[in-house]
């Protein structure tokens, strides 16, 4: 099989590319490096079944050529991270909505399968936990820029499903829940790499808000396997499917867990949301997926424990600091 991955030099994209290459597939990566990094795929460049293009999805001619040459398109390119979303709402909306439209438009001409990545953010302020795929999406007011990301990804879902219903383009929508692991950067506000990095440096671990908000963290290997199994399942076409771990922890407890696992002397500090992001910032208190549908369609559920995830992220940062080939080490630890 031949896969085109947009956002292929990103955190999830690079792991997905690695997995597909390991099983013998051909992979083309498209990334403008706005949030991805060439370092994430440097160890893959010697493989003759992989090629990459440092360009934008908006390059319609290139996109048409890449889509034409692919069997499956995995659309991961998006604005990511709460910090980036709050600081650049225009970029968030334009990147997500325009990019998805261009991908679907190009794929529809040849009826190529498209898996598009959505997010647990679309559930918004829904309090009916665990979140099921047919649950209501409860977003905050348009005056709160924080919800622009959720709204843009919800529109992506509507658009993808409309292409399936109206134009018979095979699509799969995967709602990802807090994917974490080696190669993830804390640059845009991702909580676990920021906590681990601070703990290893013995500097303050910063918790935003009260810390009582809870999340579920999914190892990138589990997310990758979930995505591949969905693409391999004809029954997943036209469906929206949660991909995430169900092990729930508060952000406050996560800070203490990271401190314990890394044997750190870091103090834990609390910063109000208004100070961390913007006045009136809103957040959801719990975000827990139901993965019954994923299991029914693929026979797979994410299973990596949080302790193992923390240890893998800590090992990645330590190896990076020591100048070891982190990609090879991370890949070896997955065996």
Which whole-number Å values give the CA distances from 261 to 74, 192, 266, 308, 332, in the listed order? Answer: 35, 13, 12, 10, 21
Instruction: Report, as an integer, the average pLDDT of 4-16.
Output: 97
- How many domains is the chain built from? 1
Judge whether 92 lies within some domain: yes
Judge whether 258 lies within some domain: no
Judge whether 107 lies within some domain: yes
What is the Cα–Cα distance from 252 to 205, expressed in whole angstroms? 10
- Tens of pLDDT, residue by residue over 97-134, are 999 999 999 999 999 999 999 999 999 999 999 999 99
Cβ-based neighbour number of residue 308 at 10 Å: 13
Instruction: Report, as an integer, the average pLDDT of 145-172.
Output: 94
**By residue range, what is the domain housing residue 133?**
2-178+220-244+288-304
Q: What is the mean pLDDT of the chain?
A: 92
Which whole-number Å values give the CA distances from 228 to 13, 15, 17, 114, 126, in the listed order? Answer: 12, 11, 11, 12, 28
Judge whether 319 lies within some domain: no
Judge whether 215 lies within some domain: no
Residues annotated catalytic, as ranges: 149
Instruction: Report, as an integer, the average pLDDT of 84-101.
Output: 83
* pLDDT at 231 exceeding the cut of 70: yes
Judge whether 63 lies within some domain: yes
Handedness of CA 245, 251, 257, 260 (dihedral sign): positive
- The CATH number of the domain where 88 resides is what? 3.40.50.720
Q: Which residue has the higher pLDDT, 280 or 19?
A: 19
Would you place residue 82 in the very low, low, confident or very high pLDDT band (cuts 50, 70, 90)?
low
pLDDT reported for residue 10:
95
């Amino acid at each position: 099989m031949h896969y085109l991955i947009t956002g292929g030099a990103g955190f999830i994209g690079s792991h997905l590319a690695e997995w597909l290459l390991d099983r013998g597939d051909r992979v083309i990566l498209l990334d403008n490096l706005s949030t991805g990094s060439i370092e994430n795929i440097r160890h893959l460049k010697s493989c003759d079944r992989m090629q990459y293009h440092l360009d934008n999805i908006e390059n319609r001619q290139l996109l048409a050529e890449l889509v034409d040459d692919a069997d499956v398109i995995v659309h991961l390119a998006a604005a990511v991270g709460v910090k980036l979303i709050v600081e650049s709402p225009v970029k968030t909306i334009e990147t997500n909505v325009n990019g998805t439209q261009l991908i679907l438009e190009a794929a529809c001409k040849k009826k190529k399968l498209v898996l598009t990545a959505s997010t647990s953010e679309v559930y918004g302020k829904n309090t009916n936990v665990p979140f099921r795929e047919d649950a209501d999406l409860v977003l905050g007011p348009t005056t709160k820029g924080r919800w622009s990301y959720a709204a843009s990804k919800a529109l992506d879902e509507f658009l993808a499903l409309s292409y399936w219903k109206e134009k018979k383009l095979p699509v799969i929508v995967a709602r990802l829940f807090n994917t974490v692991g080696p190669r993830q950067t804390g640059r845009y506000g991702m909580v676990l790499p920021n906590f681990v990095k601070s703990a290893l440096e013995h500097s303050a671990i910063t918790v935003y808000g009260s810390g009582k908000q809870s999340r579920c963290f999914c190892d990138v290997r589990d997310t990758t396997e979930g995505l591949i199994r969905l693409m391999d399942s004809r029954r997943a076409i036209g469906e929206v499917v949660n991909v995430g771990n169900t092990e729930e922890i508060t952000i406050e407890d996560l800070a203490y867990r990271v401190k314990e696992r890394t044997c750190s002397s870091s103090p834990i500090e609390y910063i109000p949301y208004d100070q961390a992001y913007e006045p009136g910032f809103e957040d959801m208190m719990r975000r827990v997926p139901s993965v019954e549908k994923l299991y029914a369609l693929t026979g797979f559920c994410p299973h990596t424990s949080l302790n193992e995830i923390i240890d893998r992220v800590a090992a990645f940062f330590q190896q990076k600091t020591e100048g070891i080939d982190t990609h090879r080490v991370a890949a070896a630890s997955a065996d």
